Amino acid sequence: MTLIDWDHTMINVSDLAKSINSFADAGIVFKLGGRHENWGTANALGYFGINYIELLSVFDQEKASLIHRQSAAAVYDSLQDFNQERQRFNTVAIRTNDLENIRKRIESAGVTVGPILEGKRRNEQNKLITWRIFFINDDIAGLPYPFFIDWQTSDKDRKQQLIEQKLIQTHPIGPVKVAKAVFEVSNPLQVAKQWAILIDSVATEEHGKFVVPIGERIFEFIVGKANHLTSLHFTGAKHQQTINLGETQLVFD
């Protein structure tokens, strides 16, 4: 059975250490993930079960500047934000176990896709972490597309590995889980339908908002000028609060 689920959400940040500390003050734990030596980027990871947030920053601008959007859109976009000192959501990653066929299906729908790449980084314990990935180097009215990733292991085994590595843990704010991502776009119906095609889902209208389910979570598209992912919403918090980091908003209910 083909797996299609929401793997993680990327946030472009200017300084990993400062961002980690800011989230820690709000009761959210992030840990350094490691460096993508081929891309000149580094990350920190905060897990909410198997779904997680990746804080992404640039440690080698010269190396990162060699990345073309046609092959690695999210990496290219992260450098643009880094150079402009913008902290905001980048895009979301979709987890699958069938990159080749999904890539063919998306390409046949008329969407320009990049090549399948081998990703790697070394974590803080110097362990090599690998994955396979492809990016979509297009956008919809400025909204970046998601990208697709294959961890080459089952969700069950991956979750157990993350627990053993003490990456999946309960945050001080509570046993929070990501419930939805909200995208502000000029034409939410059009975008919702397009994203539904990408992830083999359906788009429905709910009170003027367009919802695309993915696993046990949802992507929600609303009218707005940002043409970007603007907020993540969580359940399970001990108390309600909203965390803002640059242009990002994390809402805990």
Residue spans per domain, the chain: 4-252
Residue 142 has pLDDT above 90, yes or no: no
Running DSSP on this structure, what letter comes out for residue 236? -
Average pLDDT, the chain: 95
Q: Residue 174 to residues 61, 102, 219, 239: CA-CA distances in angstroms?
A: 37, 36, 23, 8
Among 72-76, 111-115, 121-125, 184-188, whose mean pLDDT is lowest? Answer: 121-125
CATH superfamily of 4-252: 2,3-Dihydroxybiphenyl 1,2-Dioxygenase, domain 1 (3.10.180.10)
Residue 245 has pLDDT above 90, yes or no: yes
- 142 compared with 20, residue with greater pLDDT: 20
Q: How confident is the model at residue 123 (pLDDT cuts 50, 70, 90)?
A: confident
Residue 240 has pLDDT above 90, yes or no: yes
Q: What does the pLDDT read at residue 84?
A: 97
**How many other CB atoms sit within 10 Å of the CB of residue 175?**
13
Q: How many helices (H) and strands (E) does the chain have?
A: 6, 17
Contact status, residue 171 vs residue 28, Cβ threshold 8 Å:
yes
| Average pLDDT of span 49-60 | 97
| Average pLDDT of span 90-109 | 96
Nearest CA to 13 out of 90, 71, 93 is that of 90
Q: What does the pLDDT read at residue 140?
A: 84
Q: What does the pLDDT read at residue 243?
A: 96
Q: What does the pLDDT read at residue 126?
A: 83
Q: Residue 64 to residues 18, 38, 44, 75, 221: CA-CA distances in angstroms?
A: 21, 8, 17, 8, 31
Running DSSP on this structure, what letter comes out for residue 208? T
Q: How far is CA 156 from the centre of its chain?
A: 20
Among 23-27, 28-32, 118-122, whose mean pLDDT is lowest? Answer: 118-122
Distance CA 94, CA 9 (A): 9
Contact status, residue 23 vs residue 46, Cβ threshold 8 Å:
yes
Helix (H) or strand (E) holding 246: none
